[in-house]
Amino acid sequence: MNIYSPIEEHQVFLNYRGEELRYSFVSHLIDAFERRGIDFVVDIYEQRGKDLKNLFVRIQESRIVLAIFSTRYAESSWCMDELVKIKKLADKEKLRVISIFYKVRPRDVRKQTGEFGDNFWTLARASSGDQIKKWKDALERICDKMGLSLGDKSCEAGFVKKIVEEVQKVIAAIRIGEKEDDFGKKRKNNCSCECEIPIFKRCKTRKLLARDVRKQTGEFGEKFWTLAKASSGAQIKKWKEALECISDKMGLSLRDKCSEADFVKEVVKEVKRVIAAIGLEEEEINRMFVSELSSIVGT
């Protein structure tokens, strides 16, 4: 068993019928990946038993899978079993799948018809009902994803280029998603309560002191503890943590002798400011995406 490239953060796993495509279409795809510096994993020899388990591990380690469907794909129980594994991970959103239809119609793959279907049902005759159901589910699920198709009279060189571009887009999207997650985590308040606190959350206390809300004192506290008497200790703890966490945010306060009309204007102004700030963040994320994609395409 030979594997191209070490394990990498954004490696691409190639799922395909080796006997049909290994030394033709897939070899051109591998060459394009190497020239573009895209990390990938691909089997060289179709060996049974131990090597299949190793490939399952490599699928789990991958971030992207190219499921390359061809007319002879369904001849191989190996290909089909890999696809079942891929479906399970895709359902859990642990990897991205790009469907490639190499000189085969997507609907023939999805519905197991045509020459693809003939090969599938030939394999199915020697297989169990449970196995066939898993294969059919995997084919239908993966084929529901947006894919790329190459017809009989299409240019393979152009098709390979299109696949490389699509892979680069997905890699860029993954990286942007990771940066966005890291950005959100850094800005998220360290709160032990089981509540999601939006970055720009503002608390508005009306005609009471913010500290009474935070510490459950005063008239607010009296009502809180009246409710607490009929509640469990765990529930009370969650309520207290939520009140303290939310009230720690910068807020707006209306006192007894202040104008409600002016206060409403102030609240509206603050909401507009937050909406504008969110828009700026989205623009920054978009700029990051374009920059990341340009750097990848330019390599």
User: What's the N-to-C CA distance of the chain in angstroms?
Assistant: 30
More confident of the two residues 83 and 189: 83
Identify the three-state secondary structure at position 39.
coil
DSSP-assigned beta bridge partners for residue 195: none
Contact 117, 165 (CB under 8 A): no
So what's the pLDDT on residue 197?
34
Q: How many CB atoms lie within 10 A of CB 199?
A: 14
Least confident of 76-90, 100-114, 225-239: 225-239
Q: List the catalytic residues.
A: 82
Which pLDDT band, with edges at 50, 70 and 90, does 281 fall under? Answer: low
Q: What is the overall mean pLDDT for the chain?
A: 80
Residue that the structure tokens 């990498």 belong to: 8
Residue that the structure tokens 């179709």 belong to: 46
pLDDT of 194 > 60? The answer is no
Which pLDDT band, with edges at 50, 70 and 90, does 218 fall under? Answer: confident
Which pLDDT band, with edges at 50, 70 and 90, does 199 fall under? Answer: very low
DSSP-assigned beta bridge partners for residue 69: 101
Contact 79, 131 (CB under 8 A): no
Which pLDDT band, with edges at 50, 70 and 90, does 203 fall under? Answer: very low
Residue that the structure tokens 């599938």 belong to: 120
Please tell me the pTM assigned to this model: 0.60
Taking alpha carbons only, the member of 63, 4, 62 closest to residue 33 is 4
pLDDT of 250 > 70? The answer is no
pLDDT of 135 > 70? The answer is yes
Question: Which residue segments constitute the domains of the chain, with CATH numbers given?
Answer: 12-184 (3.40.50.10140), 187-297 (3.40.50.10140)
pLDDT of 3 > 50? The answer is no
